[in-house]
Structure 1
Amino acid sequence: MVSFSLMVARPIRRGMRLARLRPIVAALALGVAMLPPCASAQDEKIATTVEQWDRYALGNHRYAVDVAASAPAVQVTIPWRLRDRAIGEHKIIVTDAAGKPVANVLRRHVDQSTATLVFEPTQGAGRYFIYFQPYTQTGSRNYPKLAYQPWQDTATPTWSARIGATSPAKLQALPRAKVAGYEAVDPFDAYTDMERIATPAEIARVLHGAQQAAFLLFGEDRAHPVRMFDQLPQRWAARGPGKPLHLGADRGEFLSFQLGLWTPNRALNDVRIELASLQGANGARIDTSKLHRFALGGTDYQGQPFSQRHDVAQGRIDPLWLGLDIPADAKPGRYRGTAIVSTAAGSARLPIEIDVGVAKIAAHGDDQPQNLTRLHWLDSTLYQDDSVVAPYTPVQVQGDVLSILGRHVRIGADGLPAAIDSEFTPRMTSIGNTPRALLAAPMQLVVEGGGKADVATVTASPKFETLGPARVRWNAASQVGPLQQDVQGELEADGSLHYRIALKATQATTLRDIRLEIPFAADGARYMVGLGRPGDETTDRFDWKWDVQKNQDGAWIGDVNAGLEFRLRDDRYERPLNTNFYHDKPLKMPLSWDNGGKGGICMARTGDRYDVIAFSGPRTMQAGETLHYDIELRITPFKTINPQRHFSQRFFHKYAPLDEITGAGATVVNIHHATPINPWINYPFLEPAKMKAYIDAAHARGMKVKIYNTIRELSDHAPEVPVLESLGSEIISPGKGGGWSWLQEHFDGDYIPAWHVPEIRDAAIINSGASRWNNYYIEGMDWLARNVGIDGLYLDDVAFDRVTMKRVRKALAAHRPDPLIDLHSANQYNDRDGWNSSALLYMEQMPYLDRLWFGEYFDYQKTSPAYWLTEISGIPYGLMGEMLQDGGNPWRGMVFGMTNRMPWTGGDPRRLWKAWDAFGIDQAEMIGWWAPDAPVKTGRKDVLATVYQRQGRAMIAIASWAPQATSVPLQIDWKALGIDPAKATITAAAIAGFQPARTFKRDEAIPLEPGKGWLLVVQ
């Protein structure tokens, strides 16, 4: 039996689209010699065929074999060395050169190493193809489910008898077809040489030569990332362990490489890595003190250094990825050193040689992601600071009062908020100087022991520390009955309050309850979102309990110009997955608040208070036991709304020729993934020249360009994917695998399959959203803004937190004037997403957003004005938005300043845009129906009017939520409008699909159909 090796010709750039690959594919196919079975073990090449066969019917892989002469049957042995452990169960298809299947196929032997087949050469002498791993697809096109087809015996009894199928001697005597070569449907799907397994005999030889070793160590360069974590590649078996690793790098380059650790006989604990200085000629050296040991730690997404114990299970192959900056002033030449990997079971040494070239590369080689030069981004702290982000102002400390943009917080002696107020005006377009109190009394954490509530005795009053212009911290300590209460609080310039509260038992004690009391001022507790309630007006009584099936740990309560979000957590909190994947990584129930299902929240209105009480119920604490009652608070609004800016920026949400976009009247274009300049989901780095050319042309037309890029999932085309997979569940969320064929064939199975684009075969995996990939993301945003000129981001549901969002904002603002970030969300209020509110899910990111697009599956027809206000519009949080599902409701949308977005179906906003321009809406002040001083009212809660006021004229948007046709007289404050009623006209311009032309008398009732309205101009 002949042994073959596979040398894979990788595409020049992994991000190339299939259409662009075809000329390269053709060249590869024509230039590859189809090899006879006696070929050298190092000579077999990948031949990516010119024709693109039907992968759905035949699979992604095949071998070409040549039959020399006609015969009833021929035999062929294929040295495929497959990583697929179940290959013996899978279907194998033989076809002739024209693609016609051969029915008479006999499997003599099939295992991972080889397959020996007998088949009937139906077309006589010539080329035949042997396809393996064909699959059947079910599920949706974007979330496919693939099953590999089982083997079926299609050989006829007559043919089997004719060739002596039951006689091994007769089969052995059959003429042999020659293996010409392995072919993949395209280069990206091809198995690499790191995915060709060593045979059992080769493995035995490796182990025989290292019987005393605790583990075996193999060096590997970045061009050959480890792809199998429990099977030895033939490449390593042929080379053997401990051989010198030869690397090459340019001066100034970030060089990444692997130390492959194999533990065939035992588990390893606490792996450590050392690399002494690399020595060159004439005393030259490369300092290795800042070696990146990615598996052993680094810098987390919050900017904190961390180290972690690294263990390796028995039988695993563990690629320990390392990274080293080659100094820009390094002397060219060869540098030598030794890597030492040590564990409690023993150690191993590996010589390393690096040839440093004469060339000098810029920016660590970051412009060449295919070389894995960007791995140092994983440990980046870029924009991890406490500088102020516009429009926010530095946190001011005056005694116990902390002041930020439009809001004030007075800290009580126990460290908790004693008072919170807002100076945002009800119109939400400005900040006044009349504070509105959110609280009726101080917040307090109450400990209830033997029948009474203990009052905190302060032992250390708050001491304030300014960490930077945008953040202030304080600590306070109290004794609450038998518990010691330590409070660490922080306020940030955007209105986020973070509390880390530790309650430690000084003695064994039994408690009836530990609870947080938030006494909202009743007049401000008008609306509520969260805890399983869609946005609506608050109720007089509401009760809620913890439930892991629901992504719920808090709520927002307030009014348009004054509100407070609260979240209840502990020191174990991890951000759950979202957008269809909540149940794959649900909320960790906080041990303190949940207390084994005893905790919950009750709300009640009493007089001038609206009390929110988060209780945790009875429990026993041992002496020295500590519970963490952490609280996240956010004071809204975060900023004023800016209708003028909102109406002047009109979005075109599709990649299209720029002349088409400008012709539609749009000023901002969002570039989705799966487009020529941004093909791969959440990896927008592989077509930078195309992207820059498009953006430059848009800028020349006065337009802005934003791109789709988030962390929620990652394309399989990202060059760093093998590195991320090697880090376990830190970055790639663990799961049951499955999904698109590339994932099943090239991953080890511990992942969650995500979005798939069949046209370009882009398959994504789910990321954790709270990992070092966030650091990479920030560096990527900075790189794109600096080198490509993107004006902002379009975020389609996000998995990352406010820390990352704040860094994104800083990265864009550092390089682009007036950057824009808009967030789209599908309605998260469903079982898959844990019955969460999109507004609440993303409230922590809202301080750094410019616009919302909420979104698919939102109901614009059967929901209340309160729902629109709190769940969709963004206005109580300082944002404005747009509609999506079925085009939204244009009449109701206008009372919130919302339209749908070009060129999505269901509604065309261009007619409304023209009406805006005719009026000059971008020069008007928006006075919403929610403002007490709105100059136009209807006198009804189910018919609302919003005014857009200019000098001497006003546009009035009216919309009905009444269940039947109705009419309302307008209550107009003519003086406030600045219009003489005796001379006033009220007209409705004709807007196709929206309203007919009509003139109304000054006192005439306005007729309204259910769910519709008017756009009137008064002047």
Structure 2
Amino acid sequence: MSDWAGQVARIHPWPPMRVHQGDAGIDVSVWGRTYRFGNRPLPTSIESAGREILAGPVRLVGELDGELIEWADQGAGVMLHSHNDAQTVLVGYQRCQRLVLNTAVWIDFDGAMFVDVKVLPGEGVEDESPLVVPRLHLEIPLRAEAATLFHYWPHRGQGILLDHSADNSGGIPAEGMALPFKPFVWLGWEEGGLGWFAESAKGWQPADADRAIEVERDGDTVVLRLRLLDSEPAAWKDQPLTWARRPGPLLFRMGLQATPVKPWPADLHKQRVAFHGSHHIAQSRDRHQPDKTVFDRMLEDGINTVIFHEGWQPIQNYGFSDEPDKVREAVDLCHDNGMKVLAYYGYELASLAPEWGDVADDVLVLNPDGVPAGGWRRHPHQRDYVSCTNSIWGDELVRRIIESMATFGFDGLYLDQTNVPFGCCNERHGCGWRDAAGQLHPTYPIRAARTVMRRLYDYIHPRGGWIELHQSSCCVTPTLTFAHSYYDGEHLHWEEKFRNDPLNTVGLAAFRAEFMGWNFGIPADYMASGEKQAFPLVHGLLNRPLPTKAETRHRLWEAFETFDVGSAEFLGYWRSELPVSAAPETVKASAYVRRTRGDGPAEMLMVVANLSGDQPVDAQVTVDLAALGLDGGASAHDVIADKAVPTDDGRMGFELDPLDFRVIRLAAT
């Protein structure tokens, strides 16, 4: 079983952690973020992406003996327990009328903070009357401008079965939100935010299970409220405070992680990715040009990263090949032609694996009725079930992956939901928990999934490798942080409405919250757009595995690489600093802007997209040339059509079909 407070070692690109102690408390800084504990056991300030995101200290509120709990400032504090480059440990304390609050806080180098909240009796033996605590909530007040979007996971159940919906992401409604227990909730804006997480609701007693978590708007503040107790805790009810029967602490385990979690890679736009079902790239014929092999087509397309999908290993997710020489030959062929190879791995234990009989009962994810999750059919004939990273199979999976990478020379991984902490009730490996009535509930092993991802990243990243992570609507940042990039949207791909009308089925706010990655600090690829790239492009996503039949494929690659978008600032249509306006309403414009030093003119690569799924429009775009230092004159060039775009003092117009776009480069004349 994973250790909630496990020791860690720092990994590039995160710098060493910094700690500052003073009379005002303790500051802990990681890349891009600072957590401040102002002589309190819980954070009093969190800075991320250059701004303060808390509207006030994180607080524990409630009732005690018929009165509101009032925590005393006097005597409260926080102490530095230990610190190194990779992890800082703090302990905190505070008291109120008849209670004591203790905390233990572990902050890792990537900004993931694990918090134990312990509430215990505070009076001496002379006061034997029972403690009456009918309400205890933890509240995280966020500044309203830093909490406009939300994402939570899972959409429903244990996260096994996927909903064909993006309803678990979007804009925070004016009336707020109420949710049943979710192991991960993120609130933020397009460039950052704060994730809260917990592996289970053990110890929680919300009055209404559907309102265990609330998001409430209150003027300039958005409050994330965790309803830990709405009734007297079962362990304390009617218990006198005698030495013989003094009740123990109430324990609530949870975590926080401010985002973005790491620097954005500058050379992402140079990756040209292609998938193939197996390692037979030199033998398989291209389905669009049957006179050529898949490999020939990759060479023509300038592909530099190849993903060997499930077919390279006959036993699903096992790291074994019955054609090891052919796998090595295919990898060598790619390497000889300047291509990197990523190998598919997932999260399953296959019935075809020889270890099945020995380990299945111990490692599979179970629902509360003891039924294994999954059971998907694969070729050759087998069924694959969801394994739990909190079991011995987590270690075995890491071992097998590292061994196969060394054996076959893979450069990285294409992971299929390996980061997902599927809800698990398998008590044989420590998952699941039982309430006072004995009912079994799932554990979501975030720490174990995080450990698997961190170990893989620790092996692959220093060797110049890459981890592509495919997940569906599970942007749980403590596990996602150890991917170089993520794929999202397969759960939407299967229904045409999401491809043909993303504006009304996915929505702009949901896309900005979940699918573009800027807010998490992890690049994203959107899997539900098919041939229609307008929606991802206007959000700053140049999907690296662009559809083979997309007419604009090569010109998009060339345009983004020639402009070197990695050295430019991306200004989305939602940014007030964007010097571009567009009409009508379904037309959105975003831009990559590169400014020269001093007062010199800027360059801009602009994406203009009609996001309507069924209506062509006459798009009207106005660029504030003076804001770009281009008021001395500017030219506009359509890089896809390779032709000049007529402009009149920054104004231009053109027709756009449904889900069509233009990519226009502006520069000084």
TM-score, normalised with respect to structure 1 = 0.52
- CA–CA distance in structure 1, aligned partners of residues 63 and 531 of structure 2: 50
Q: Deviations over 1:301-328 (max 9, x none)?
A: 4499xxxxxxxxxxxxxxxxxxxxxxxx
2:191 maps to: 561
The one of 18, 23, 30 equivalent to 1:404 is: 30
Q: % of aligned pairs identical?
A: 21
1:45 maps to: none
Matched, 1:541 2:179: no
**How far is the alpha carbon of 1:564 from its aligned partner?**
0.3
Which structure carries more relative contact order (alpha carbon 8 Å, separation 6+)?
Answer: 2
- CA–CA distance in structure 1, aligned partners of residues 481 and 609 of structure 2: 29
**How far is the alpha carbon of 1:767 from its aligned partner?**
1.0
- CA–CA distance in structure 1, aligned partners of residues 363 and 36 of structure 2: 39
Distance 1:941 1:880, change over 3 A: farther
2:592 maps to: 948
Cα RMSD, aligned residues only: 3.1
The one of 693, 697, 700 equivalent to 2:336 is: 700
The one of 217, 226, 229 equivalent to 1:605 is: 217
2:525 maps to: 882
Write out aligned runs for 1:438-453 (5 A). Answer: 438-453=53-68
- CA–CA distance in structure 1, aligned partners of residues 552 and 303 of structure 2: 10
Matched, 1:632 2:244: no
**How far is the alpha carbon of 1:516 from its aligned partner?**
0.9
The alignment partner of 2:662 has SS state of strand
The alignment partner of 1:679 has SS state of coil
**How far is the alpha carbon of 1:735 from its aligned partner?**
7.2
**How far is the alpha carbon of 1:601 from its aligned partner?**
3.0
Matched, 1:755 2:385: no
- CA–CA distance in structure 1, aligned partners of residues 665 and 303 of structure 2: 24
Look up the equivalent residue of 1:640 and give its one-letter code.
Answer: P
Distance 1:781 1:508, change over 3 A: same
- CA–CA distance in structure 2, aligned partners of residues 916 and 985 of structure 1: 14
Distance 1:568 1:448, change over 3 A: farther
Distance 1:931 1:389, change over 3 A: farther
Write out aligned runs for 1:898-909 (5 A). Answer: 898-900=541-543, 902=545, 907=550
Q: Deviations over 1:656-679 (max 9, x none)?
A: 23443222221111111123xx33
The alignment partner of 2:363 has SS state of coil
1:982 maps to: 633
**How far is the alpha carbon of 1:416 from its aligned partner?**
0.5
- CA–CA distance in structure 1, aligned partners of residues 409 and 121 of structure 2: 56
Distance 1:906 1:516, change over 3 A: farther
Write out aligned runs for 1:282-361 (5 A). Answer: 300-302=1-3
The one of 503, 509, 522 equivalent to 1:866 is: 509
- CA–CA distance in structure 2, aligned partners of residues 976 and 700 of structure 1: 47
1:664/1:910 contact within 8 Å kept:
no
**How far is the alpha carbon of 1:519 from its aligned partner?**
1.0
- CA–CA distance in structure 1, aligned partners of residues 469 and 666 of structure 2: 34
Look up the equivalent residue of 1:502 and give its one-letter code.
Answer: K
How many matched pairs? 570
**How far is the alpha carbon of 1:1007 from its aligned partner?**
3.8
Distance 1:486 1:847, change over 3 A: same
Q: Deviations over 1:395-453 (max 9, x none)?
A: 2110110111011110133321100012x3xxxxxxxxxx3010011111123124432
- CA–CA distance in structure 1, aligned partners of residues 81 and 451 of structure 2: 20
TM-score, normalised with respect to structure 2 = 0.77
1:900/1:907 contact within 8 Å kept:
no
- CA–CA distance in structure 2, aligned partners of residues 694 and 774 of structure 1: 28
Distance 1:513 1:734, change over 3 A: closer
Distance 1:598 1:705, change over 3 A: closer
1:928/1:945 contact within 8 Å kept:
no
The one of 15, 18, 40 equivalent to 1:414 is: 40
2:356 maps to: 721
**How far is the alpha carbon of 1:724 from its aligned partner?**
1.1
Look up the equivalent residue of 1:757 and give its one-letter code.
Answer: R
Look up the equivalent residue of 1:705 and give its one-letter code.
Answer: V
- CA–CA distance in structure 2, aligned partners of residues 768 and 914 of structure 1: 39
Q: Deviations over 1:475-525 (max 9, x none)?
A: 112223333322111111111111111222456222231011111011211
Write out aligned runs for 1:269-288 (5 A). Answer: none
- CA–CA distance in structure 2, aligned partners of residues 940 and 478 of structure 1: 56
2:54/2:142 contact within 8 Å kept:
yes
1:852/1:873 contact within 8 Å kept:
no
1:884/1:901 contact within 8 Å kept:
no
- CA–CA distance in structure 2, aligned partners of residues 881 and 893 of structure 1: 10
The alignment partner of 1:1004 has SS state of strand
Look up the equivalent residue of 2:471 and give its one-letter code.
Answer: S
Look up the equivalent residue of 1:601 and give its one-letter code.
Answer: I
The alignment partner of 1:871 has SS state of helix
The alignment partner of 1:633 has SS state of strand
2:375/2:383 contact within 8 Å kept:
yes
2:536/2:542 contact within 8 Å kept:
yes
Write out aligned runs for 1:226-245 (5 A). Answer: none
1:899/1:909 contact within 8 Å kept:
no
- CA–CA distance in structure 2, aligned partners of residues 519 and 394 of structure 1: 29
Which stretch of the first structure deviates more once superposed, 691-700 or 913-922? Answer: 913-922
2:570 maps to: 927
- CA–CA distance in structure 2, aligned partners of residues 701 and 977 of structure 1: 41
2:243 maps to: none
1:896/1:928 contact within 8 Å kept:
no
- CA–CA distance in structure 2, aligned partners of residues 546 and 923 of structure 1: 40
1:810 maps to: 458
Matched, 1:645 2:645: no
2:401 maps to: 781
Distance 1:554 1:923, change over 3 A: closer
- CA–CA distance in structure 1, aligned partners of residues 561 and 105 of structure 2: 51
1:529/1:870 contact within 8 Å kept:
yes
The one of 500, 508, 520 equivalent to 2:116 is: 500
1:599/1:617 contact within 8 Å kept:
no
Look up the equivalent residue of 2:13 and give its one-letter code.
Answer: P
Distance 1:873 1:765, change over 3 A: same
Matched, 1:590 2:208: no
Distance 1:390 1:972, change over 3 A: same
2:269/2:566 contact within 8 Å kept:
no
Matched, 1:465 2:81: yes
1:790 maps to: 410
Distance 1:973 1:599, change over 3 A: closer
Write out aligned runs for 1:174-323 (5 A). Answer: 300-302=1-3
- CA–CA distance in structure 2, aligned partners of residues 707 and 694 of structure 1: 12
The alignment partner of 2:41 has SS state of coil
**How far is the alpha carbon of 1:933 from its aligned partner?**
2.2
Look up the equivalent residue of 1:866 and give its one-letter code.
Answer: A
- CA–CA distance in structure 1, aligned partners of residues 103 and 216 of structure 2: 27
2:555/2:639 contact within 8 Å kept:
no
- CA–CA distance in structure 1, aligned partners of residues 343 and 371 of structure 2: 30
1:802/1:845 contact within 8 Å kept:
yes
Q: Deviations over 1:100-144 (max 9, x none)?
A: xxxxxxxxxxxxxxxxxxxxxxxxxxxxxxxxxxxxxxxxxxxxx
- CA–CA distance in structure 2, aligned partners of residues 451 and 1009 of structure 1: 65
- CA–CA distance in structure 2, aligned partners of residues 698 and 931 of structure 1: 41
**How far is the alpha carbon of 1:633 from its aligned partner?**
0.8
2:443 maps to: none
Matched, 1:454 2:37: no
> Greater Rg, structure 1 or structure 2?
1
- CA–CA distance in structure 1, aligned partners of residues 168 and 415 of structure 2: 23
Which stretch of the first structure deviates more once superposed, 772-781 or 596-605? Answer: 596-605
Q: Deviations over 1:71-126 (max 9, x none)?
A: xxxxxxxxxxxxxxxxxxxxxxxxxxxxxxxxxxxxxxxxxxxxxxxxxxxxxxxx
- CA–CA distance in structure 1, aligned partners of residues 179 and 561 of structure 2: 52
- CA–CA distance in structure 2, aligned partners of residues 595 and 793 of structure 1: 44
- CA–CA distance in structure 2, aligned partners of residues 477 and 529 of structure 1: 32
Q: Deviations over 1:329-349 (max 9, x none)?
A: xxxxxxxxxxxxxxxxxxxxx
Look up the equivalent residue of 2:96 and give its one-letter code.
Answer: V
**How far is the alpha carbon of 1:604 from its aligned partner?**
2.7
